Every structure is written in structure tokens, then in C-alpha cells.
Structure 1
Amino acid sequence: MSLRKLFSIAEYDDERIKVLEQKSYSEAGILIALLAFIDLVVRGIFMDRPLSEWVLSLILVVTYIIYVFIRQSFMKITKDHLLEKEEKRKNNIEEYSFLVTFFFYVLWKKVIQDTSLIPSGVYDWTLSILVFIVLAAIMYGLSIIISKAFQKNT
């Protein structure tokens, strides 16, 4: 038995039935994962219960995430497989600019302000969000300008 067959859900000839069955399975899986995640958040974080009470929910959420990742990898429906070359490049630019923005935000908070990374108080939250937005806009703009400059050179 191949791994592809192991992870398949339906074996019908009619495409409509196959799609409807897969849709119902996916909706049920999302609902179960959502309920497990809500249980994990409520019991684990808000109620501060011991690990033995919410570990099963954690296992369910992690299992769901791993299964979806494996399923998408075998079906080749991940972001890298579906996007065109130009879209992949644009997404890479956005990801790198976000990482650089986060690096500069951490640098600003820790070195320049010498404060904790997590803001405290409304003023500090507002200032941190505004600084992050400004840094993100600057970094994204710079990354677009740099990528267009490299396109002209090639």
C-alpha cells in the first residue's frame, strides 16, 4: 500500500460525491481541531489547570496540524507548489521584509529604549504598534525598490 493511498479519503468514480465527502471530512476535522484548541486555551491558559487535564487537546491539535501538513505535501497543494514564479518571489520579499522589520523592532526595544519586548500600558502598546507599522512600511518599500533594481540589472 503506497503512502498516497493510505492518506486518501474517498475512492468513488463520481467526482461530485468525492468532493462532497472530502468537504464534509475537512469541515469535521476543522471543527474537532477548533474545539480542541478552544479547550486547550481555556483550560491551559485561562483556568491554569495542570497539564494532565489539557494534554489530550494539545495532542489533538498537534496531530491535526501534522496530518494536514502531510496531506498537503502528498497532494502537492502547498504554497510553493501552487504559486507562480513571480508570486513566489513576491511572497519571499514580504517574508524577508517582515523578518527584517521584526529584527529592527527588537533592536529598537532592547537597545535604543532598553525596555522589555512586551509593551506595558496603552501608550507603550500604541507606540510599539505604530513603530512596527512604520518599520514594516519602510522595509517593504526598500525590498520592493531593491528587487526592481535587481530586475533591471538582469
Structure 2
Amino acid sequence: MLIYDLLPGDIVHLAIRDQVPADGLFLSGFSVVIDESSLTGESENVMLNAQNAFLLSGTKVKYGSCKRLITTVGMRTQWGKLMVTLTEGRDDETPFHVKLIGVVTIIARLVFFFVVIQGTFMKKLSLGTHWIWSGDEAFDLLEYLDSCHNCCDFGS
């Protein structure tokens, strides 16, 4: 039977090295151990029994054999949902991404601020006028800082 022929309610036999074709419930079996690393990333195998009875598509039978009841097929399985999520190409930003952009923006603005201040102060120091500030020089400094606000805007 092909995986494309499976429907919810079908009973399927699985043995060692079989890939689980659809989500389903463990009905009976002998020493069934499942490798879920392809789906969950966990390296530890999972022992199936009456208390831990759910098998996820995309996982593999490491040891034992079992009969199971198919509950979900195709893109409605956990594997299918994962594949849709990975292939959608979503542009959604994660909370971590938003915070990271905020931190990068703050750091860039601070670096630019200190570079402008240091450059202006070194220029005035070389002219010997570091203690004398005119209104135009202060205004120029504020314009630099405003341009810093505009140039270092990473989406915040």
C-alpha cells in the first residue's frame, strides 16, 4: 500500500527501519522504539506503549514492530505542517529577531554618536578652540546626530 492511499482509520503494520507514513495511534506491538530526531531534533529514542501511544509521521521505527491506527494523513500531519512552515518563506520576524534589531540599532547609534563627538572634539583641539563652542558648531553637531538617527535605522 502506498502512503498516498492511506486514510484516517486505516490500520498499518510497521517494522524495523520503516518510516512512519502518517500520524497515528499505537494499537499493539512488541518493543517498539521510535527515532523522532528528524521531526523534533531530539537524539533520544522514544519507547511506544499504551501510555505513550502517538506516532508522528516522518519518524522511523528503530526497534520492534507494531500495528497502528492512522489518525491524520498528508499535510495535516505534524510532518506536513512542519514542511509547510519551512517552505512558506514567511517574512515574519521572531521576537528574538525584533530584539536583536533593536540592540543593533542602539549600538550603531552609540558608535556613530561617539565617532562624531570625538571627530568634532579632535578638530577643535587641533585648532586650540576645544573650550569655545559657537551656536553654529552645536547646531552642526545636532545635525550630525540627526543624520545618525536617519542612517542607523534598521527597521525600528
Please say whether Structure 1 and Structure 2 have the same fold, judged by a TM-score greater than 0.5: no
Using the size of structure 1 for normalisation, the TM-score is 0.31
Indicate the structure whose relative CO is greater, using CA pairs within 8 Å and at least 6 residues apart: 2
Larger % of helix: which?
A: 1
Larger % of strand: which?
A: 2
